[in-house]
Structure 1
Amino acid sequence: MQQTTLAERVQSSLVEECAFLACCSMHGRVLALPGVMVAINPAMPDRSLFNGVTYESAGALQEQYDAIAEAYEAAGVRAWSVRVRLGDAVTPSFLESGGHVRDHDTVAMAALMGDLRLPSVRDMEWEETDDLRIIGAINDAAFGFPSAVFEAAFDRWPNSRWRGYIARVDNLPVSSLLTCDSPDGDCRMSGVATLPQCQGRGLATGLMAAALRAAMSRGMTTTSVQADPSGTHGYARLGYRELGRMPVWERRRSAVE
C-alpha cells in the first residue's frame, strides 16, 4: 500500500475520532458542511479537544469558516480547534489571521497490519470493556488533569465501531485505550493511557498488541494514530511509521466575552 493511501486513511480515521470526542457526551453532535466536518460538544465548552474541525481541502475550510464559527457560538462553545491536514501549508496562516493559536502538534503514524511487530500478552490481564468512565478516569490521571475531564465527557458510545480495552494489575484497571473500525479498513487507536504509577512497564504496548490482534481478526488491514511527539517511539517499536506532523490550531474566547 502506498504512503498516500495510508495518509488518506489517517485523515478518514481522524474524522471518526473528532466525531467520537463530540458525540461521546449527551447533546454532542456532528455538523456536516460541504467539505467540512464540525464536531460540537456543548458539555465541554472550554475544551477544544472535544470540539474539533476536520476538512477535505483548504478552500472548503475557508468557504465554510464563518458557518463553523457561528455553529460553535450558537452551541455556547468557547474553545474549538482545527486539525490541519498533512501537507497543508496554506491553512495555518489563514487560521492565524482569524485569531487561532497553534496549540500543539500531533504526529500522524500508521502501518499495515502485516508490518506490525506485536509482543506476546499471555502474562497480561486485559479485557474489552464498555465502561467509558473507567477509560476516562485513567486518561484524566495519566494526563494530570486536576478534575474530571475525560471521565465527565465520556457518558455514551456514539456507535458500535468503537471499542474500549483495559489492562489490570492486581485486578485494578491501570491502562486503557479506544479503537475504531473505519469503513475503509483502518483501526484507529485513541485514548492510549496508563496511570502514572504504572507507566514504563509495557502495559500500554501490550494492550495495543491485544487490541490490534482483535482488529485483524475483524478484517482491519491498517492502523493509525495521532501520537504526541514525545511518544512516537512506543508506536514505532510496534511497526508504526511517521507520516508527518498535523498541527492543531485553537480558537478560544473567555467566558465573559
Structure 2
Amino acid sequence: MTDAELTLRLHTNIIAFKRLQAERGPLRHLRLPGVDAFALPNYQDAHFQQVLFTDADALAAALPAVTDFYRGHGLSRWRVTLTPGQRDAARVLGAAGYRPDFTVVAMGAWLKELPDAAPGVPVEPVNDMDDLVEINVQTYGAEWRDILSMWQLPPRLPVHTVVAREHGRALSCGLAVDVADTAGVYLVATHPEARGLGLASAVMRGIISEARKRGCTATVLQSTPAGLRVYRHLGYRDLGPWEHWVPQGP
C-alpha cells in the first residue's frame, strides 16, 4: 500500500467529486481524452477553475481546447494540477507559457491504520445539506452560497455528510464522496465562533467511522494550511505537494 496508490485514488476521487457537481449547478465541464477541465463562470480566481489529467501526452493534446473552453467562459486564469513526479507534464506546461502558482498538500490514509476513536462530541450523519452550506458560507465567505447551493437541490447527490452540534446548533461539518472503496473528504469547515473546540476533529472521526461502516478501505483529502495539524493528528500522512500551474500573460 503505497503513497503513489493513495495519490492516484485522490486524483480519481477529485475528478468524480467535480463531475458530480457539474451534473447540476454552475460548474461547467469539458471532458476530453485523459483530461477534465472544470470552470466556474463569473469567478475570476484561478482557485475555482481546475484542469486534471492522466498523462502529459493527453494534456499536450488538450491544451488548445482547454484554453478555448476557459476563454469562452470569460476566464483569463485557470489552474492545471500536477501530482508529485509529473515532470513531463511540467515541461509541457512550461513550453506553453504556464508557471507554478501555488501548492496544496495532498493527504491520505488506509483506514486499518487509523485509530477507531470516538468523536468526543456529538456528531451525526445527515441527509439535509443546509447546515453544511451555511457553515461553509460562514467560514469561507458569502460567494460560496451560490457555489454550494447545488448541494441543496433535489434529488440528493450520493454523498455522506456529517455534522457536529453543540446545544442543538450545527457548528462543524464535512462530507465524503466514495469512489470504489475510497472515501474522499471535502468541505470540512467549522463556524468561526466555534474554532479551537475540537469540532473539526470530531467531524473527521465521524466521517472515518461512517466510511468504515460502508466498507471503505482508504480515505483521501487535500488540506489547507489550517487543517494540516488536525489531519496529521488523526493519522493522515502527507502525500506530497500538488502543484497548480496557471497561464501567464493575456
Q: How has the CA–CA distance of structure 1 residues 230 and 101 changed in structure 2, closer, same or farther, with 3 Å as cutoff?
A: farther
How many Å separate the matches in 2 of 1:55 and 1:62?
A: 10
Q: Using the TM superposition, give the Cα deviation of residue 8 of structure 1 relative to its aligned residue in structure 2, in angstroms.
A: 1.5
CA, structure 1 residues 170+251, in 2 after alignment: closer, same or farther (shift >3 Å)? farther
1:171 aligns with 168
Q: For 1:46, which of 26, 44, 47 is the aligned residue?
A: 44
Q: State the partner residue of 2:187.
A: 191
Partner of 1:150: 144
CA distance in 2, matches of 1:117, 1:149: 37
Cα 1:142/1:199, change in 2 over 3 Å: same
1:169-210 deviations in whole A, cap 9, x for unaligned?
Answer: 222221111210013x11001111112221111101111111
- Residue 34 of structure 1 is matched in structure 2 by 33
In 2, Cα distance between equivalents of 1:134 and 1:41: 23
> Aligned with 2:176: secondary structure?
strand
2:9 match: 9
Scaled by the length of structure 1, the TM-score of the pair is 0.84
User: Which consecutive residues of structure 1, in runs of 5 or more, have no partner in the other structure?
Assistant: none
CA deviation after TM superposition for structure 1 residue 48, in Å: 3.0
Using the size of structure 2 for normalisation, the TM-score is 0.86
Aligned length: 247
Alignment gaps of 5+ in structure 2:
none
* Alignment-derived partner of residue 239 in structure 2: 243
Identity, % of aligned pairs?
26
Change (3 A) 1:36 1:59: same
SS at match of 2:31: strand
| C-alpha spacing 1:182/1:137, structure 2 compared with 1 (3 Å) | same
Describe the SS at the equivalent of 2:85.
coil
Aligned to 2:53: 55
Check conservation: 2:119, 2:201, Cα contact below 8 A. Answer: no
The answer (yes or no) to whether the contact 1:25–1:155 under 8 Å persists in 2 is no
Aligned equivalents of 1:72, 1:174: Cα separation in 2: 36
